[in-house]
Amino acid sequence: MSLANKVKAHFTAAFSEPPAYIVRAPGRVNLIGEHTDYNDGFVFPLAIDRATFIALRPRDDNRVLAISLDMDDRRAFALDDLQPPAEVGWIDYLIGVAWVLQERGYALRGWDGVVSGDVPIGSGLSSSAALELAAARAFYCVSGFDWDAKAMALACQSAENEWLGVNCGIMDQMISAAGLQDRALLIDCRSLETESAPLPAGSAVVILDTGTRRGLVDSGYNERREQCETAARHFGLPALRDIDSETFAERAPELDALSRKRARHVIHENERSLRAHDAMNAGDAVALGKLMMESHISLRDDFEVSSSALDAIVDCAQADESCYGARMTGAGFGGCAVALVETDNAKDFVERVSQCYIEATGIQPSLYVTRASSGAETVWP
């Protein structure tokens, strides 16, 4: 049964009538442009074909009653009495979205809903942004304000930053809001301008979850952020986005060895993202794959956010004859890698790489062939 049918059936059973709306919002994977978002740079993600769905109906009062099938839980809150989370649970993502939308002047109405998704939780594919954007879309359906993907992405990012206390950039919410079928979205994280490009014909995107999670993520992330800000300040620039690789090559000796490596990653990664956009527009899977491999080496050696598990799965993928390129994706230290492979051989690729990774590490990975899907939308009626 599809997820849309699943939430619809559960809604009908719980509320004794069919839902008035079904909405969905996808998770995402970043093809290239890693650790560039907080440097005001470029990212190049796609919305994946795994999403969070909500079946809902409007209420006459200002309450939200939500049932999570995945958490086996039922929670309610009132829109005029939002309580900040003591300990973050799934309902706080809905409350945070309600809070930020009201802060921004949207008049909201309550709803009854059933929530379920198939974005793996906590593996770096942004199930949190999927839930936030699905919640925003639910409020849109019952409240009747205008849907502006960029405004919704910014609102949901604020919910995550300010209500949930997670220091994330704009990428996850932006791609979950504005993704396009069979296309990746180049996002300028400074202007929030986007440009889409088609994935090369005959190629498929495969997500490779190493099955490892590392506690280092938060401290490692904050430390990298500070190092980048310090390097930008040294050059007298607002962000590393504002220096090109030639100028950097001239001035790099001014920096200490560690700052130089960190800055070099970000500056070259921005340029790789723009070149990836050109490669995609040219339908050049080989060039795109090569950029992904360069990105991985840079993240591994200069930015130092890879891990032995990520390196192992990327090595297995890159050694496979049907792979154009592979790299770690997301913050790093564990989590997922992403590969571009020949569509016709994607299934065999998954088999071979799983085997190779198990032999190298003894860990069971999860690999999925994915398709670029649309951003947050109403799927029914």
Give the interface with ligand ADP as residue ranges (CB under 6 A).
52, 68, 70-71, 89-90, 93, 115-117, 121-122, 124-128, 131
Interaction partner, residue 20 (Mg ion, ligand ADP, none; CB < 5-8 Å by kind): none
| Residue whose CB is less far from ligand ADP, 128 or 298 | 128
Query: Contacting Mg ion (CB under 5 A), which of 36, 128, 203, 307?
Result: 128
| Cis peptide preceding 381, ω within 30 of 0 | yes
In the complex, the smallest distance separating the C-beta of residue 126 from Mg ion, rounded to whole angstroms, is: 5
- The reply to whether 173 sits near Mg ion by the rule CB under 5 A is no
Q: Is 146 a catalytic residue?
A: no
In the complex, the smallest distance separating the C-beta of residue 172 from ligand ADP, rounded to whole angstroms, is: 7
In the complex, the smallest distance separating the C-beta of residue 326 from Mg ion, rounded to whole angstroms, is: 22
Interaction partner, residue 115 (Mg ion, ligand ADP, none; CB < 5-8 Å by kind): ligand ADP
| Residue whose CB is less far from Mg ion, 36 or 176 | 176
In the complex, the smallest distance separating the C-beta of residue 32 from ligand ADP, rounded to whole angstroms, is: 19
| Residue whose CB is less far from Mg ion, 36 or 128 | 128
| Residue whose CB is less far from ligand ADP, 68 or 374 | 68
In the complex, the smallest distance separating the C-beta of residue 190 from ligand ADP, rounded to whole angstroms, is: 23
CA proximity to 142, closest of 116, 108, 114, 100: 108
| Residue whose CB is less far from ligand ADP, 128 or 157 | 128
Q: Which of residues 87-126 bind Mg ion (CB under 5 A)?
A: 126
Interaction partner, residue 52 (ligand ADP, Mg ion, none; CB < 5-8 Å by kind): ligand ADP
- The reply to whether 30 sits near Mg ion by the rule CB under 5 A is no
Give the interface segment with Mg ion, choosing from 73-81, 127-135, 136-144, 187-195 (CB under 5 A). Answer: 127-135
CA pseudo-torsion sign 76, 78, 81, 85: positive
- By DSSP bridging, strand 336-342 and strand 377-380 are unpaired
CB 153 within 8 A of CB 25: no
> How far, rounded to the nearest angstrom, does the alpha carbon of residue 315 sit from its chain's CA centroid?
23
Catalytic annotation, pick one of 118, 172, 209, 302: 172
In the complex, the smallest distance separating the C-beta of residue 27 from ligand ADP, rounded to whole angstroms, is: 7
- Interface residues with Mg ion (CB under 5 A)? 126, 128
Just list the catalytic residues: 172
